[in-house]
Amino acid sequence: MNQVEKFIEFVQEQYKTTDFIPLHEPRFLGNEKKYVLETIESTFVSSVGAYVDKFEEMMAEISQTKRAVAVVNGTAALQVALRLAGVKESDEVITQALTFVATANAIAYNNAKPVFLDVDVDTMGLSPKAVESFLEEYGELREEGCYNNRTGRKISACLPMHTFGFPVHLNELLEVCDKWNIPVVEDAAESIGSNYHGKPTGSFGQFGIYSFNGNKIVTAGGGGAIVTNDKQSGDFAKHLTTTAKKNHKYEYIHDEVGHNYRMPNLNAALICAQLEQLNSFIENKRKLAERYESFFEEKGIQFRTENPDTKANYWLMCVELNDRKERDLFLNQTNKKGVMTRPIWQLMHKLPMYAHCFRDTQKNAEYLEGRIVNIPSSVIINE
Same domain for 173 and 86: yes
How many distinct structural domains can be found in the chain?
A: 2
Domain boundary at 225, 249, 275, which? 275
Same domain for 76 and 11: no
pLDDT higher than threshold 60 for residue 93: yes
Same domain for 290 and 242: no
CB-hemisphere CA count at 13 Å for 330? 24
Find the CATH number of the domain harbouring 124: 3.40.640.10
Same domain for 123 and 215: yes
Same domain for 304 and 271: no
In a domain, 181, yes or no: yes
pLDDT of residue 360: 98
In a domain, 358, yes or no: no
Q: How sure is the predictor about 292, in pLDDT bands with cuts at 50, 70 and 90?
A: very high
Segment 222-242, tens digit of pLDDT: 999 999 999 999 999 999 999
Q: If we measure between CA atoms, which residue out of 157, 246, 242, 163 comes closest to residue 201? A: 163
Mean pLDDT of 356-361: 98
CA dist 185 and 79 (Å) reads: 10
In a domain, 92, yes or no: yes
Q: Torsions phi, psi of 208, nearest 5? A: -130, 155
pTM above 0.95, yes or no: yes
Mean pLDDT of 94-123: 98
Residue 309: which domain range? 3-23+278-352+364-375
Chain mean pLDDT for the chain: 97
Same domain for 247 and 316: no
Q: How sure is the predictor about 46, in pLDDT bands with cuts at 50, 70 and 90?
A: confident
Mean pLDDT of 16-23: 97
DSSP state of 164: G
Long-range contacts from 146-155, C-beta under 8 angstroms, 24+ separation: 146/180, 146/181, 146/182, 148/92, 148/115, 151/92, 151/358, 153/90, 153/91, 153/92, 153/113, 154/88, 154/91, 154/92, 155/91, 155/92, 155/93, 155/94, 155/115, 155/180, 155/182
Q: Are 309 and 171 in contact (CB under 8 A)?
A: no
Domain boundary at 238, 256, 275, which? 275
Q: How sure is the predictor about 47, in pLDDT bands with cuts at 50, 70 and 90?
A: confident
226 - beta bridge partners? Answer: 69, 209
Q: If we measure between CA atoms, which residue out of 50, 68, 76 comes closest to residue 269? A: 50
CA dist 156 and 127 (Å) reads: 18
3-state secondary structure of 119: strand
pLDDT higher than threshold 80 for residue 221: yes
Q: If we measure between CA atoms, which residue out of 211, 84, 100 comes closest to residue 157? A: 84
Same domain for 86 and 163: yes
In a domain, 194, yes or no: yes
pLDDT of residue 316: 98
What is the DSSP annotation of 235-263? HHHHHHHBTTBPP-SS---B-S---B-PP
Q: Torsions phi, psi of 65, nearest 5? A: -120, 170
Q: Are 185 and 106 in contact (CB under 8 A)?
A: no
Same domain for 109 and 196: yes
Same domain for 266 and 285: no
Q: How sure is the predictor about 1, in pLDDT bands with cuts at 50, 70 and 90?
A: low
Domain boundary at 242, 275, 308, which? 275
CA dist 80 and 71 (Å) reads: 10
pLDDT of residue 383: 53
To the nearest whole percent, how much of the chain has pLDDT over 70?
99
Same domain for 370 and 288: yes
Find the CATH number of the domain harbouring 304: 3.90.1150.10
